[in-house]
Copies of this chain bind each other. A is one copy, B any other.
Amino acid sequence: MSTDASDIREHEVAVDLPAPDDARLRFIGRIRTPWTTRETCPRQGKPDGPICRVEVFEPWVAALQGLDVYDHIELLYWLDRGRRDLVLQNPGRDGNVFGTFSLRSPVRPNPIATSLVRLVAIEGPVLVVRGLDCLDGTPLIDIKPERCAFSPKAAPKG
């Protein structure tokens, strides 16, 4: 995690905190995209964006069973390049300041991104998708069916 003083802009506010350790994550894969620098990476994915490849690590490949029925899936991934201590941000460098939770910036206390992407194909351990916006090599945290298309498979409660 980079916390260089140079990463903070005028009018931005950082807080002082101990290292986070309320819960721990396991990376379950890696996302391959055409973007290798922050400058070229889009701010938001587009439905007709380029093909990207989501590589799922073992032993999680078996957990893809049944995903092929969904046209759209939700991906969660880890954005580890930014600082995690800003409460106010100045994204346009224009003095318009926003609270971190009113932005989808990668700079946030828990740098988890969520994207809704089109599932184009499943090739063994690889999901072929469109609609991503992250750097090549980004760690994968979770894969879920898109919430609107998904119906719980367990019996109703109550």
Contact = CB atoms under 8 A, between A and B. Distances in A.
Contacts of A152: 43-44, 91, 104
Contacts of A112: 76, 112, 141-142
Interface residues of A, number: 71
A157 B39 CA distance: 7
A105 B133 CA distance: 26
Interface of A: 13, 15, 17, 19-28, 39-44, 59-60, 62-67, 69-70, 74, 76, 78, 80, 84, 86-88, 91-93, 96-104, 108-110, 112, 114-116, 139, 141-145, 147, 150, 152-158
**For the complex of A and B, 4 pairs with smallest distance between CB atoms:** A65-B99, A20-B26, A66-B102, A63-B100
